[in-house]
């Protein structure tokens, strides 16, 4: 009997492990850049996926979203183990890797499809996101107000394969884009030494 119980528990262990995983979704402008920022946390292959959220059209394409008329914004969805990486750490990474002083744009990219946003999946994530925003509103090293909204997550649509891990697949083009767009220069201007910690 004891052996049967042990076998049943072992059979369930992958499912139990899967239950520990949670989702987090952030929009920080171009998803190529947001994906790179979160993958630097060492989340593992496939844990950060570029995609679209916040619109009304089902299964949108990049071409449709890039018109700015679908209501979607470019996001990354992160699958993580909260026992190993806290949602607070994900929030900190998000804040220090986007410009929270503007809406409907990020760096050289303009349009509602580049709006920054925190999409919460649970009441706990909402509470933590609001506390994090309040903390940065007091501690921010810049004068402008923080306008990044916190919104309930909707349906996530993965982006096309060629967008996934773009910074790894096309490093030269990516570096040209991110430098030319002024992303890092603006982030350093906003957050200063906080980005080096």
Catalytic sites, residue numbers:
30
For the chain, give the DSSP string.
Answer: -HHHHHHHHHHHHHHHHHHH-EEEEEE-SSHHHHHHHHHTT---TTSEEEEEES-SSSS--HHHHTTT-S--EEEEEEEE-TTTS-HHHHHHHHHTTS-TT-SSEETTEESGGG--EEEESSHHHHHHHHHHHHHHHHH-SSSSPP---EEE----EEPPGGGTTHHHHSHHHHHHHHHHTTHHHHHHHHHGGGGG-
């Amino acid at each position: 009997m004891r052996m049967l119980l042990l076998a049943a528990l072992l059979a369930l262990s992958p499912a139990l492990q899967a239950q520990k995983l949670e989702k987090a979704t952030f929009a920080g402008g171009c998803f190529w850049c947001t994906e790179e920022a979160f993958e630097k946390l060492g989340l593992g292959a496939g844990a950060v996926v570029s995609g679209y959220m916040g619109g009304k059209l089902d299964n949108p394409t990049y071409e449709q979203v890039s018109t700015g008329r679908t209501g979607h914004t470019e996001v990354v969805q992160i699958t993580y183990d909260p026992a190993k990486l806290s949602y607070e750490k994900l929030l900190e990474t998000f804040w220090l890797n986007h410009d929270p002083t503007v809406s409907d744009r990020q760096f050289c990219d303009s349009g509602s499809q580049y709006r920054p946003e925190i999409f919460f999946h649970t009441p706990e994530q909402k509470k933590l996101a609001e506390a994090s925003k309040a903390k940065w509103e007091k501690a921010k090293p810049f004068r402008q107000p923080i306008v990044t909204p916190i919104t309930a997550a909707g349906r996530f649509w993965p982006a096309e394969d060629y967008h996934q891990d773009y910074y790894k697949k096309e490093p030269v083009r990516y570096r040209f884009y991110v430098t030319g767009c002024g992303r890092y220069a603006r982030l350093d201007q906003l957050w200063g030494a906080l980005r080096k910690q």
